[in-house]
Amino acid sequence: MKIVLIGAGNVGFHLGLAFFEKGENVIQVFSRKKSKALGLAKKIDSKYTTSLSRINKNADLYIIAVHDDAIGEVTEKLVQAGIKEKLIVHTSGATPQSLLSSAKATRYGIFYPLQSFSLERYPNFTDIPICVDAKRNDDLLLLKKLAIKISSKVYHVTDENRAILHVAAVFVNNFSNHLFHIGSKIVDKSALPFEILLPLIIETVNKLNAGTPKEMQTGPAKRADLDTINKHLEFLKDYPEYSEVYKVMTKGIENQ
C-alpha cells in the first residue's frame, strides 16, 4: 500500500516511523516546514513536499496528521489537487468524519492512535490502541489491515465512541499529568525531590491491573478521614487553586 503522510508533527512523525519499521511504503511526507518534512522523509526513506499542490496523486491512502483546526482546509486542498477518489483519513480524536465529507472527500475515514506522543519519546507502537473507522466497508477493512501491521490493539470505533474516548483520555492523561505537576509544586515546598513520589505514582498505575480504579481507591477521602482532610486543607490555604482541586476531587471520591 502506498501512503502519503500529511503532517510531520508528533503523530505524523511516530506513525511514519512505525510504518517504515514494518515495511509499509510511505511514498511522500508533507509538512509546511521543510526541516520537518525533510527530517522525517530521510528517516523513512521517503520523498517530501512543502506544498499541498504537489502532493503525489498515486497513493492508496492519504493520512492527515495535522492540528484539528487545519484538517478541513487541508482536505479541501487535497481534493482540489485532484485526489477526490482516494481514501483520505485523519488521526484526530476529537474531529468527526463529517468534516472530511463536507470538504468533498468521497472516500474517508479515521486512523486514530490513542496515545500522547512527544518527539523525544519513542513509545512501543505495538501496544498503542489504533481506532479505525471509514465510510465504506472496503476502506474500513483496508485500514484495519494496515493498523494490525503496526499495533496489536486495533478497534473499530465510531465517531460517537471516539468522541467519548477522547474525553476520557483527557481525564486520565492530561488531568492526571496536571496532578503530578501539583504534586511536584507541593514537594518543592520541602527539601525533598519530586522523584520521591515516583514509586507511588508507578504503583497507582500498576494497581489498575489488580482491579477497577474504584476498587483500588485509597486515602483520606475514601475512608472519610476528616481530621486528615482538614489538616491538608489547612496546609493548602495559601494555594487556593490547589485547594479547589483538593475539594472537588475529595467530594468526587466520597461520591464514587
Interaction residues for its own copies, span 45-84 (CB under 8 A):
68-69
Cα dihedral sign for 33, 38, 43, 47? positive
**Residue 154 CA, distance from chain mean position:** 14
Rounded Cα distance, 51 and 192, in Å: 51
148 binds its own copies (CB under 8 A): no
Told to check if 115 binds its own copies by CB under 8 A, we report yes
Part of the chain binding its own copies (CB under 8 A), chosen from 21-29, 77-85, 139-147, 239-247: 239-247
Using CB under 8 A, which of the segments 20-28, 30-38, 138-146, 186-194 binds its own copies? 186-194
Which residues in 199-228 contact its own copies (CB under 8 A)?
199-208, 210-214, 216-222, 225, 227-228
Binds its own copies (CB under 8 A): choice among 51, 118, 138, 159: 118
Residue 5 burial (10 A CB sphere; 0-12, 13-18, 19+): buried
**Cβ at position 113, least distance to its own copies in Å:** 10
Q: Output the DSSP codes for 44-110.
A: TT-EEES-GGG--TT-SEEEE-S-GGGHHHHHHHHHHTT-TTSEEEE--SS--THHHHHTT-SEEEE
- Segment contacting its own copies by CB under 8 A, of 29-37, 70-78, 135-143, 182-190: 182-190
